[in-house]
Amino acid sequence: MLRNLTALRQITQRTISTASQRQFENKVPEKQKLFQEDNGIPIHLKGRLSDALLYRATMILTLGETAYTIYELVKASFPKKQD
C-alpha cells in the first residue's frame, strides 16, 4: 500500500513539473485585432466559419423547439372528447 502511494506521488510530481516547461505561442494580440476591427460584423460572428455554423445551428434548434412547444400547448388546450 505504501509503495503504491509513493509511486503515485512520484507520477503526479513528474506530470506537474513537466507541464510547466511547455512553451505556447501567445495568440491573444491577433485575436484582439480580429475582434476589435470595425467591419460591421456582429461580435458573435467575427470568429471563423465555426462561429457562424454554431450560431445558425443554435437559431434553428431554438426556433424548432419554440414551434414544438407552441404545438404541444395548443394540443393540450383542446383535450380529446370522451366517447
Encode pLDDT of 49-78 as tens digits.
888 899 999 999 999 999 999 999 999 998
Classify residue 41 as left (phi > 0), alpha (psi -120 to 50) or beta. Answer: beta
pTM: 0.53
pLDDT at 18: 52
Check whether 30 has a pLDDT greater than 80: yes
45 near 55, Cβ under 8 Å?
A: yes
Check whether 19 has a pLDDT greater than 70: no
Check whether 6 has a pLDDT greater than 70: yes
Give the domain 24-83 fold: Cytochrome C Oxidase; Chain J (4.10.91)
* Range with the poorest average pLDDT among 6-10, 43-47, 49-53, 73-77: 6-10
Residue among 54, 24, 48 nearest 34 (CA): 48
